[in-house]
Amino acid sequence: MVTESDTGSIQVEIIPSRFLLPATAQKLLNEIYGNGGIIRIMIHGPNLPRSVPYGPGRGSPIDENRDLLIEVGGQAFELSVKVGRIRLELESEKYYEGLKAACERALPISFQIRRGKFFHTRQTITDYAKYGKVEDTRILGLIDPKAKQDRLAILSEENVAVHDEER
């Protein structure tokens, strides 16, 4: 029988039953941030292009998708996806119940929350092409392999090592 360590980090996925408006996303993220214990977090959902990507209207601006600024923990950043899923890693098991309660407070709709393994741990070729040799493995699995590196928002006060100048 394998006994899981109760001191290690855990990974959690939160799936609301509907896509969140930016205001609700901000509320939810602030509640999650207030709960504490976050090692890293990923916001996932369909892309919100700033202009029509193809078709006869290609290039027409989509003003509704611009300046979707949200403020989390005192720092503002721009949403580029419709929030449909949040994956995060918590320092330990003890933050899990608080996280559930935070979601219940912030979300006006039903949601699923589950534990599992959602971030990869070993560097892939794509990661190498994007970041070079990754020293800080916390950045692995945070963005879609096809997405550009600017999709990664580093809000931590600590210095996260992302070296790409060598390439």
Partner 1 sequence: MAYTPQYYPGSTSVGINRRKHMSGNLEKLRDIPEADVVAVMGHRAPGADYSSTHPPLKEMGEPDCPIRQIVAPTAGAAAGDRVRYSQWTDSMYFAPSIPYWRSYWGAINCKGCDPGTLSGRQIIEARERDIEAYTKAQYDSEMTDVALCSMRGCTVHGHSLRLEENGMQFDMLARTEMGSDGNVYAVKDQVGIPLDRKINLGKPMSEAEAKKRTTIFRVDGIPMCGKVGARKYDEAVDALHHMWELRSKWGFRPE
Which CB atom, from 52 or from 161, has the smaller least distance to partner 1? Answer: 52
**Which tokens belong to 154?**
């580093």
- Choose, by CB under 8 A, the member of 5, 62, 73, 124 that binds partner 1: 62
**Alpha carbon distance 134, 127 (integer Å):** 8
Structure tokens at 107: 């979300």
Within residues 76-95, the interface with partner 1 by CB under 8 A covers: 82, 84
Residue 155 lies near partner 1 (rule: CB under 8 A): no
- In this structure, the dihedral spanned by the alpha carbons of residues 137, 143, 147 and 148, taken in order and rounded to 10 degrees, is -50
| 34-42, 54-62, 120-128, 148-156 -> range binding partner 1 (CB under 8 A) | 54-62
Q: Residue 53 Cβ, how far from partner 1 at the closest point, in Å?
A: 7
Q: Is 67 in the site for partner 1 (CB under 8 A)?
A: no
CA distance 93 to 31: 17
Alpha-carbon span 44 to 141, nearest angstrom: 12
Q: Which residues bind partner 1 (CB under 8 A)?
A: 16-21, 24, 46-49, 52-57, 60, 62, 64-65, 82, 84, 108-109
